[in-house]
Amino acid sequence: MPNLNQSELLAAWMEGDLSPQQQQQFESLCIEDDDFSKQVEMANRASLFAQDYQSQAAPNWNQEASFDYQASQKWWQWQGFSVFSSALSIVAIVLVFSGFEASVEGGKMTFGFRDSGQRLEQKVARQLDEFKAQQNAALNDYVASLREQQLDASTQLTQYLLASSRQERKEDFGELIKFINEQRNDDQLFYARQLNQLQNAIYDNPTGKP
């Protein structure tokens, strides 16, 4: 065993744990070293004094107050349940708003989000709306074009009718004027002839008697 320093040697002596070599070292130190021997003496005295110590009875105190027992919680009283239920609620809300769907088809359960089908439907609806708008626009153009064509045709017909009736009236007036002129000529000829006859009559009967 290695040599111990004084504190270790004293401690080993106090615990009755000295080997023969250490016992020899201890005894020689007690003889040679006055301070060490006084330390041993003090340890001995302290040990004896401590044995003389009469323990005092503890006064009355509220011993039950130290019994701060809290019964272990049952599994259904687990504090994490509130958090767990809140988390489940949040998950459920997220699933509802995200359109999560579980469907069973042909013995297979599939999970998915309604979002994709909905988007497709929205796309188709949007395209149909666009197509409808295009068709409406094309129809409106066609109607407008047709109306324009009809208007043109009507205008042309009216102009034609106006033009043709004007010609006819013109011709009719010409005919009338011609007729009137002819009638006048005939009248003039008649009156001329009458006048001639009158003249002749006058000149043929100078007495003045017809």
Name the site residues for another protein (rule: CB under 8 A).
6-8, 10-11, 14-15, 38-39, 42-43, 45-50, 52-59, 61-69, 71
Task: For residues 140 and 147, give the distance between their C-alpha atoms in angstroms, rounded to a whole number.
Answer: 10
**Type of residue at 165:** S
Nearer to another protein, 55 or 82 (CB): 55
For residue 177 the two structure tokens come to: 């004027």
Q: How far is the CB of 4 from another protein (least distance, A)?
A: 9
Compute the 3-state secondary structure of the chain and give helix, strand, coil in percent, each to the nearest 5. 75, 5, 20
Nearer to another protein, 61 or 111 (CB): 61
Question: 111 near 101, Cβ under 8 Å?
Answer: yes
SS3 103: strand
Q: How far is the CB of 75 from another protein (least distance, A)?
A: 17
Phi, psi for 139 (deg, rounded to 5)? -65, -40
Task: For residues 134 and 197, give the distance between their C-alpha atoms in angstroms, rounded to a whole number.
Answer: 90
Q: How far is the CB of 37 from another protein (least distance, A)?
A: 11
Nearer to another protein, 65 or 102 (CB): 65
Q: How far is the CB of 40 from another protein (least distance, A)?
A: 9
Nearer to another protein, 51 or 82 (CB): 51
Q: How far is the CB of 34 from another protein (least distance, A)?
A: 12
Which residues are 120's β-sheet partners? none
Q: How far is the CB of 107 from another protein (least distance, A)?
A: 52
Nearer to another protein, 42 or 124 (CB): 42
* Exposure letters 117-127 (e unless 16+ CB within 10 A, then b): eeeeeeeeeee
Nearer to another protein, 66 or 82 (CB): 66
Task: For residues 25 and 167, give the distance between their C-alpha atoms in angstroms, rounded to a whole number.
Answer: 163
- 3-class SS letters over 118-133: HHHHHHHHHHHHHHHH
